[in-house]
Every structure is written in structure tokens, then in C-alpha cells.
Amino acid sequence: MLAIAEACARREIAAEVSLVLCDVAEAGILRQARERGIPAEHIAPGQFRTKLDDAAERAYIQRLREAEVDLVVMAGFMRILKGDFLRAFSNRVVNIHPSLLPVFPGLEAWKQALDYGVKVTGCTVHFVDQGVDSGPIIAQETVPILPEDTAATLHQRIQECERRLYPKVIGALAEGRIAVQGRRTVWKHE
């Protein structure tokens, strides 16, 4: 969120962060957003650990509609979104994941990559669908796995990559330079 908000403030991307919603009441992202003058709210996720319950989903949809968002940008939101939410924002929900999808979906992807022994991992920006990290891929960037890497050092380098790639993709989406064609995304040249 910070990388995107800062890129917007520097006018590197033609967009603005109009609202930050979070499912964790004490999350630092809420304080960081407020410090930058961005409206930020906690909405309790409800009774489920991995998804929003129906009332929470309706509350998220309502607040996003009230804020008239054009794009829902997820970052660290560890819940699967389902039908009504995705229909309300069809092809307008994006996420970033710390692996080169479709490999290593789900939690702690950097650990999965390290444990598996691959030599390269990275991050992926993708549209969100009803699966787990399974939506159409928009962009990817690679990160080499170094012999001395630990889970912590690898995760840190992937996060640095994410902070570069995500604002770039958000900017291209805001400018209408990315189109979805089935499972494929196409970047339009300027």
C-alpha cells in the first residue's frame, strides 16, 4: 500500500488511493494510511478464518462502492473473495503474490520455493478469481534464490520486487493499458 500511495503522490501513476480497508483492527496499514490523509477503516471479517462471511462481504462492497473505487488492490488480505464481491468488481480486483504463479500458491510461497530448491522465484500480480492465487496473470518479476538465502532474506528481496512491480501494474491499469482476454492479459503499448 505504501509503495502505491507514494507512487500516486509523486504522480508516477495516474491514480489515487481513495480508501484503505482492512480485516485486522490493529494493522499498521490503517495507521500508515491515516498518516497520509487516506481514509482507512477496519471491517471485521466475520466468523470464518479464510473468507469473509456474508455480512462482512456486503460491508466491504458497500464501502468500496461509496468510495467509488475503480480498482480494488489487495495487499496482504489473506481471505478468499467469492461470488458477490467478484461480481461487484468484475475484472477490477488485483492481488500480488510472492511467487511466480502458478507455482507455490497459498501461504508462505517464499518458503515453499526455498524448500523445493528452485533457483528462481519472484512475484506475480494477477486478477483475483474465486480460487487461491489462480486468476489471470498480469505481470511477473523474477528474483534469484541465492545459496546463502534464508526464508527471511528471500522474502525481503521478493517484497522489494513487489514494491517496484505493483505500482507499475496499477499505473498501467489506471491508464487502460491492460485488457483481459479469457485467462490471458494483454498489455497495450502507449
125 neighbors 166 (Cβ within 8 angstroms) = yes
Three-state DSSP at 107 gives coil
Give me the average pLDDT of each 10-residue run along the chain (190 residues). 94 95 95 96 93 94 97 92 92 96 96 98 96 94 98 98 97 93 84
106 neighbors 132 (Cβ within 8 angstroms) = yes
Three-state DSSP at 156 gives helix
| Residue among 42, 97, 126, 155 flagged as catalytic | 97
Domains and CATH numbers, the chain: 2-187 (3.40.50.170)
CA distance 21 to 72: 10
pLDDT score for 190: 56
pTM of the model: 0.94
Dihedral sign from CA coordinates of 51, 68, 16, 89 = positive
Which residue spans within the chain are E strands per DSSP?
Answer: 20-22, 40-42, 72-73, 93-97, 120-127, 137-144, 178-181, 184-187
User: 97 an active-site residue?
Assistant: yes
The DSSP string of 61-89 is HHHHHHTT-S-EE-SS--SB--HHHHHHT
Q: What is the dihedral of CA 65, 67, 71, 73, to 10 degrees?
A: -110
CA distance 98 to 54: 28
Q: How far is CA 79 from the centre of its chain?
A: 11
pLDDT per position as a tens digit, 140-153: 999 999 999 999 99
